[in-house]
Amino acid sequence: MSIFERARELAVIQSAAEAIAWDQETYMPSHANDHRAKQLSWLAAHAHEMATCDDWRRDLEDAENNDTGSDPKLTTNLRELRRQFDRATKLPTALVARESTATSLAKHAWAEAREKSDFKAFAPHLEKLLEIAREKAALWGYANEPYDALLEGYERGTSTAAVATLFDQLRPEIRSIAAAAVQKSNQQSITLPAGPYPVAAQQKLNQQIAESIGFDFTAGRIDTTAHPFCTTLGPHDVRLTTRYDENDFTSSLFGVLHEAGHGLYEQGLPADDFGLPSGAAVSLGIHESQSRLWENHVGRSREFWQKWYPVAQEIFSQLRDFPLDKFLRFIRTAAFSPIRVEADEATYDLHILLRFDIERRMLNGSLCVNEVPAAWSEGFRELFGFTPKNDREGCLQDIHWSMGGLGYFPTYTLGNIHAASLFACAKSDANIASAIGVADYAPLLAWLRQNIHAHGSTLDPSDLIQQATGKKPSSEDYIKHLTHRYL
C-alpha cells in the first residue's frame, strides 16, 4: 500500500469519528455520552496507531526515497506527511485515547456547568485536560514555553513569542478603537424592533443567504447546537451549526455567515485530494480568515443588506418600518459585551487578548485552575471596564477548553488580520469590486478558491497570505478596516 493510500484510509476513519462527534453535539441524547466517549476514544487510538505504525513509516520513507522532485504537489504532500508523522510518533497511543475520552466527558460536563454557571463542576475536567496538554507539549518539545508546542498544531510556523509581540503591538490600537467605537455607539443607541423572530423564519432566511454566497446544500446542511461550529465529514459533507434567539434574528444569521465561511473553505478544498495535505485546510488562522471575511467584511456591509434587507423585511414584518440605515447602525453597534461570540468587530480582539493570557498562564503553571474565574474577572475588568456577572458569561462561555483546544484562541485574531488583507486585495480587482457593489459574491468566492482554497496545506500560512496578497502578513489593512467602519 502506498503512503497516499494509507493517508486516505486514515481520513475515512477520522471522518467517521467526526460524524459521531457531530452527532454528539447536535442530536445525541445526553445519557449516551459515556458510551460515545468510548467510541471516540477507540477510533482516536486506532487512527493514531495507523498513523504511527512501522508500515506507515516504511511506506513514507520509500516514497521519500523515490521522489525525484518532478511533481511539486507530490513532494509537498510528502513533506507535510513527514511533518505530521514526526509529530504524531512523539505521542503514545494511550495518551491519545485518554485525551479523546477526557474531551468527550469534558464537553458534556462543560455544557451542564455552563447551563448552571458552575465553574467548580467543570474544573476537574479542565485540570485533566491541562495535564494532558502539558504531557503533549513535553513530548513534542518546545523552544520557550509549553504553549509553543500546542500553537504549532493550530498555526504552524509561528510561535508564542511572535503572537505575544503582535498582540502587544495591537493592544493599544485595538483598545483605542474599541473605546471610541463604543462611545460613538452609545451616542446613537439603536434597538432592534421587538421580537419574536420565529426560529423557522430565521432558518429560511439563513439558508437563502448561505446559498447565495456559494454554500452548496447538496454537500452540506445547517443544524442547531449550544455553540456554533462547522465540521467536515467528507469531501462532499460539510455541516454548519448555529443557535437561535427569537429576540434577535441577526444572532443566528451572523453565526451562519461565520460558519458558512468555514464551510466554503472546506467545500473549496480539492475533493480528489481528501485525506492528503493538499486537500486539507492549512491552519485555523487561515480558516478563521474565511469565516470572518464572510461574516464581517461581507455580512455587515451596506451592499450586502441593500439586497437582503428587503427580503428580511418581508419575512419579519416588524422590520418594515425600521429603515436600512438604522439597521446598519444596529449591526455595527460597538458595545463592551461579556460574550465573545456575540462581540462586534471593534471589541472582539479584546476577548482574544484575555484568553491568550489566561491560557499561557495555565499551561506554564503560574495560574491554577481554581484561580481561573478570578483571573478572568480581573483581566476582563482591565480590558472592558466591568466584570461578567457569572461564570456562564465569563470563563465558561467557550467550548474550546473542553475540546482540548488549548492554544487555539490566537488564531481568531490572526484570522481577523488575514481576512482584512485578503478582502482588501480581492477588492483591488475592479471586476470583483464591481460585483461586490451589487452583492454578487461569485467573483470574490472564485478569487478565494484560486488563491486560498485550492492550495490546501501545501504552503505555510504566512507564505499563503504573501502569495495571495503580494505582501507579508500585516495588521495594517485590519486597523484601516476597523477605523473606517467604526470611527
**Residues with catalytic roles:** 259
Please list the helix, strand and coil fractions of the chain in percent, rounded to the nearest 5, in that order. 70, 5, 25
Neighbours of 65 (CB within 10 A): 7
State how far the alpha carbon of 243 is from the alpha carbons of 212, 229, 246, 310, 402, in Å: 20, 10, 10, 23, 19
Q: 504553549: which residue's cell?
A: 147
Cα torsion at 371, 376, 382, 384 (round to 10°)?
Answer: -160
State the Cα–Cα distance between residues 233 and 230, nearest whole angstrom: 10
340's grid cell: 465573545
Q: Are 420 and 477 in contact (CB under 8 A)?
A: yes
369's grid cell: 485552575
The sign of the dihedral angle between the CA atoms of 427, 432, 436, 438 is: positive
List Cβ neighbours of 105 (8 Å cut-off, separation of 6 or more): 33, 34, 37, 125
